[in-house]
Amino acid sequence: MRRPTARVTGSVPFRWLFVLITTALLTVSASGCGALADEPAGSGGLVSLHREGGFAGHWDQVTVYDDGTLRTEHQGARGGQDRLTGPELSRLRALLREVGFADLPRRSVSEIGGDRYVYRLTHGGHTITTDQSRKLGAVDEVIDLLSPRLARGR
């Protein structure tokens, strides 16, 4: 005896249409979820401080934007968002003007003490890497100003 075969016309095209519409909707809704989509509008990064090392070997980063908004990252995962107060932002801007990136070594890291934190400060296309074993004036002050935000952002 021959088994009857179910023949449903239109079900395959309907499934494909459903898949296409669902994919299109997900793509459109996800397009606004990129890393840059929620950055402060019209604002570029003023300064970023990256810290890595220490006994545990972890890393953190804080980026401060022109409007004082700051974002943190810990081990690659987005952390918190905060805002510098007006006086903090003014102090940060003044310190960044004092740094004199062109007069400082790009890297100032001691070979002794492998479990120290190493900081990478980036501003205006310049980057300085230091473990604070050598005093770098305003660079150290910027690090001291932003370091508490690294721990708070986790």
Q: Enter the tokens of residue 68.
A: 């004082």
Spell out where the chain has E strands.
45-53, 58-65, 69-74, 77-83, 107-108, 117-123, 126-130
Higher-pLDDT residue of 39, 77: 77
Q: What is the pLDDT of residue 103?
A: 87
Q: Can you spell out the DSSP letters for 112-151? A: S-TTSEEEEEEETTEEEEE-SSS--THHHHHHHHHHHHHH
Q: Enter the tokens of residue 145.
A: 């100003």
Q: What is the pLDDT of residue 58?
A: 83
Q: What is the pLDDT of residue 6?
A: 53
Q: Enter the tokens of residue 135.
A: 């005093």
Tell whether the model's pLDDT for residue 40 goes beyond 50: no
- CB count within 10 Å of CB 66 equals 14
Considering the entire predicted model, what is its pTM? 0.67
pLDDT, tens only, 81-119: 899 999 999 999 999 999 988 888 899 998 877 778 899
Work out the mean pLDDT of the chain and round it to a whole number.
77
In Å, the largest CA–CA distance within the chain is: 93
If we measure between CA atoms, which residue out of 91, 99, 94, 90 comes closest to residue 138? 99
Q: Domain boundaries in the chain?
A: 45-152
